[in-house]
Structure 1
């Protein structure tokens, strides 16, 4: 049984890629509070069941709209 709040390497890759790509798209610098805030949003989305890269990108794009 996996521990609550943990991710496997494939899931971590999806989360990281979604965060990196979205930050690059909207111009958030790597060392910024905005990126940390967005990372929290990505974690929340993942916890709500948004687990594919495409779904994560769509959710982040709709947040920005």
Structure 2
């Protein structure tokens, strides 16, 4: 499975960790749950997802 490295602000990281603990999930699973729409999607996560999709589309276009 491909891996993804994200840089996030400390405040967002702390909030994600707290949510993961509250939901009894790993940090990775909490992030995936949010990206999949398991909770109200944050504008930050929406922007991140759009950026990742744009990067992927650009890579595909460069490959031809």
- TM-score (normalised: structure 1): 0.37
Query: Which structure has the bigger radius of gyration?
Result: 2
- TM-score (normalised: structure 2): 0.37
